[in-house]
């Protein structure tokens, strides 16, 4: 059967997406009109087949190739070939090495104290801002912090001046993102090019020094990313690329995930109270969890999961078929781009009742039982899914626990939070919130009250309009 979809337009589909108000809104309309498998014009890919049903997505889960043109904006970052689009035979061993470190508990435990110190430092700075009556810009500060976390993780304690490294990375990224989104450069183009070149050189030299140290000393332990890559026989250029790509993949996404979670909790005080009640019970007077405590914070985890459902930090993915593929009643031809609208999948009403509502309880084991495996895919799926998923969950949970144990977050009156789809899912004008210390007595009292009971009913009018992102 022919895959349904709108008639092609000479502008390659750009106009229709702009007219809908962005790719996500367009996707929702597309699937409402044409069903779960729909053909559309994707700028940069000509024709793509979008699949918004998690059961049908299973038939694509083996696809092991990304479309090159869609990811070519990242080409300048890499010396040994764009890691996003590596051929499968090069990608599979590289992925195995990454997973052996990133997904392993030893590396999480190893980095945990450093992560905690960074999170506590941010809580201190925000507490000081709050005391001065100033709002904080969540996405700006949290993505900067996640970058420092991943620098500490990927480069270990061996790097001098992590702030300089972090700043250099921001410089490079600002340039690539300006080009991707065709934003006029914030500085003179010549100066921008020179600054990017200098920053990239600094990043590569830094990583090179770490690699050289590993050559002499061998692999430190199972938490050593660079050591694992050296041991696996990867070329120095590929190792440099991997460290830079890991930083890129890790820092926006993690920072943005935490910021959307705080945003949702600020608009759902009853859920925020349940989180702080759980933190008080598990941590007592301790300001931060230990690694083993994270498992004892199941409600916090459901809040994070629900937040990543409503605001997936990486809202889209894509693959390319090598041969014809059967998708329900349809056949996708060889060489086609299969588009993954993760955000629309998360709002598919056939799999998520009242998809627009913030309801962390969806992720309790009882409610999650029987749900389609690919209904929740913030980290993608299949052989190109996120290698950092487990580490990201640790980072996000730790950050949320430290921040929410100590501080209370309220929306800034009148500040509109509008999702903006760029490489990751930002808010157009950041997420600005007011921060104040949590009253200890008050929170203890609340923690007792919420120990066993079901969540209290939401007060009328507490949900912000921006929480409503509908699947039509």
> For binding to ligand HEM (CB under 6 A), which residues are involved?
84, 95, 102, 150, 245-246, 249-250, 253-254, 257, 313-314, 317, 378-381, 384-388, 391-392, 396
Please say which residue, 141 or 387, places its beta carbon nearer to ligand HEM: 387
Which residues, listed in sequence order, are joined to residue 137 by a DSSP beta bridge? 432
Measured from the CB of residue 449, what is the shortest distance to ligand HEM in angstroms? 31
Please say which residue, 49 or 434, places its beta carbon nearer to ligand HEM: 49
Distance, CA of 437 to CA of 365 (rounded, Å): 33
Give, rounded to a whole angstrom, the gap between the first and last alpha carbons of the chain: 24
Measured from the CB of residue 48, what is the shortest distance to ligand HEM in angstroms? 14
The structure tokens listed for 359 are: 């309801």
DSSP letter, residue 356: T
Measured torsion, CA atoms of residues 235, 164, 395, 416, in degrees rounded to the nearest 10? -120
Helices (H), ranges, 268-375: 269-283, 298-310, 342-346, 365-368
Please say which residue, 162 or 277, places its beta carbon nearer to ligand HEM: 162
Measured from the CB of residue 259, what is the shortest distance to ligand HEM in angstroms? 11
Please say which residue, 105 or 286, places its beta carbon nearer to ligand HEM: 105
Residue 233 CA: distances (Å) to CA of 15, 226, 228 = 47, 11, 9
Measured from the CB of residue 309, what is the shortest distance to ligand HEM in angstroms? 11
Measured from the CB of residue 104, what is the shortest distance to ligand HEM in angstroms? 12
Measured from the CB of residue 102, what is the shortest distance to ligand HEM in angstroms? 5
Does residue 178 contact residue 215 with C-beta atoms inside 8 Å?
no
Strand ranges for 293-403 from DSSP E: 317-320, 325-327, 330-332, 337-340
Please say which residue, 13 or 388, places its beta carbon nearer to ligand HEM: 388
Please say which residue, 275 or 434, places its beta carbon nearer to ligand HEM: 275
Does residue 64 contact residue 383 with C-beta atoms inside 8 Å?
yes
Measured from the CB of residue 311, what is the shortest distance to ligand HEM in angstroms? 10
Measured from the CB of residue 384, what is the shortest distance to ligand HEM in angstroms? 4
The structure tokens listed for 16 are: 């229709």
Please say which residue, 107 or 466, places its beta carbon nearer to ligand HEM: 107
Q: Is the dihedral of CA 398, 403, 408, 412 positive or negative?
A: negative
Please say which residue, 277 or 312, places its beta carbon nearer to ligand HEM: 312
Distance, CA of 51 to CA of 37 (rounded, Å): 5
Which residues, listed in sequence order, are joined to residue 407 by a DSSP beta bridge? 437
């Amino acid at each position: 059967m022919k895959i349904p979809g709108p008639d092609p337009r000479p502008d390659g589909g750009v106009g229709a997406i702009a007219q809908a108000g962005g790719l996500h809104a367009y996707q929702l309309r597309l699937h409402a009109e044409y069903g779960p498998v729909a053909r559309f014009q994707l700028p940069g890919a000509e024709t793509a087949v979008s699949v918004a049903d998690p059961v049908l997505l299973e038939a694509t889960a083996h696809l092991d190739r990304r479309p090159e043109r869609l990811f070519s904006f990242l080409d300048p970052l890499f010396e040994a070939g764009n890691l996003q689009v590596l051929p499968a035979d090069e990608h599979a061993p590289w992925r195995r090495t990454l997973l052996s470190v990133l997904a392993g508990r030893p590396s999480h435990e190893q980095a945990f104290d450093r992560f905690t110190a960074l999170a506590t430092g941010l809580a201190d700075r925000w507490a000081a801002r709050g005391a001065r009556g100033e709002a904080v810009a969540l996405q700006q500060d949290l993505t900067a912090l996640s970058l420092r976390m991943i620098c500490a993780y990927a480069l270990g304690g061996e790097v001098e001046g992590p702030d300089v490294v972090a700043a250099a990375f921001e410089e490079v990224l600002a340039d690539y993102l300006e080009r991707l989104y065709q934003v006029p450069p914030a500085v003179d183009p010549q100066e921008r090019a020179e600054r990017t070149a200098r920053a990239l050189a600094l990043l590569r030299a830094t990583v090179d020094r770490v690699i050289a140290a590993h050559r002499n000393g061998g692999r430190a332990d199972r938490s050593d990313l660079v050591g694992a890559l050296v041991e696996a026989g990867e070329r120095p250029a590929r190792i440099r690329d991997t460290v830079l790509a890991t930083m890129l993949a890790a820092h926006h996404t993690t920072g943005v995930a935490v910021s959307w979670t705080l945003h949702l909790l600020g608009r759902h005080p009853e859920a925020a109270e349940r989180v702080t009640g759980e933190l008080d019970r598990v941590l007592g007077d301790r300001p931060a969890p230990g690694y083993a405590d994270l498992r004892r914070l199941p409600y916090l985890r459901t809040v994070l999961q629900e937040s990543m459902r409503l605001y997936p930090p990486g809202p889209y993915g894509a693959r390319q078929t090598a041969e014809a593929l059967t998708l329900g009643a349809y056949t996708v031809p060889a060489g086609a781009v299969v588009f993954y609208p993760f955000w629309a999948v998360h709002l598919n009403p056939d799999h998520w009742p009242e998809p627009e509502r913030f309801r962390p309880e969806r992720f309790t084991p009882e409610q999650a039982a029987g749900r389609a495996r690919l209904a929740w895919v913030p980290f993608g799926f299949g052989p190109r899914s996120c290698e950092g998923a487990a580490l990201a969950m640790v980072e996000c949970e730790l950050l949320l626990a430290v921040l929410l144990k100590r501080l209370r977050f309220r929306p800034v009156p009148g500040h509109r939070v509008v999702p903006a789809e760029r490489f990751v899912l930002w808010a157009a004008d950041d997420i600005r919130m007011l921060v104040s210390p949590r009253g200890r007595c008050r929170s203890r009292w609340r923690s007792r009250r919420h120990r066993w009971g079901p969540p209290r009913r939401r007060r009328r009018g507490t949900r912000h309009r921006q929480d409503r992102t509908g699947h039509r």
